[in-house]
Amino acid sequence: MTHIITSLCIRDEGCMSVCPVDCIVPGKPLDEWPLMYIDPEVCIDCGACIPECPYEAIFMEDEVPAEYEAFGGEYINRLEFDGHYEGENMYGEEVVLDTVKELEEGEVVDLTKDIQSNYDFFEKGPGYEALD
């Protein structure tokens, strides 16, 4: 079991500093790995990151919703989308994403798709090397 950051993440980095085992890393390069990712081999399922996320993007792996119903106005951040987002992370640094879509009220999204990509980031992708 691990916790999973879903594509509701828009990289504000609020969760990184609270993780007691430092297993939350930013995906890089951004145009291939647009989310933050949790190393499933290191996560101790303490749950500390969940309340830190202002976008409610983090779930226990077995609680990731297959039918997430949007309240409207939140962003989904996936490679398949080409919408533009500009904001700031919690440190006041600029965040620019070109892989987003703004969700409409009542729109239903399967967030379980994000589980495998989290594993892929560490097993097949750059994993911690992305921090370099």
CB contact at 8 A, 97 and 84: yes
Cis peptide bond N-terminal to 29, omega within 30: yes
- 10 binds ligand SF4, rule: CB under 6 A: yes
Q: Which of 1, 17, 21, 31 binds ligand SF4 (CB under 6 A)?
A: 21
- 11 binds ligand SF4, rule: CB under 6 A: yes
Q: Hey, what are 39's tokens? A: 């190393």
CB contact at 8 A, 50 and 58: yes
Among the residue ranges 39-47, 62-70, 91-99, 118-126, the one whose residues contact ligand SF4 (CB under 6 A): 39-47
CB of 67 to ligand SF4, least distance (A): 20
Q: Which of 4, 15, 76, 111 binds ligand SF4 (CB under 6 A)?
A: 15
State the residue for tokens 């892989």: 99
CA distance 73 to 28: 26
- 25 binds ligand SF4, rule: CB under 6 A: no
- 76 binds ligand SF4, rule: CB under 6 A: no
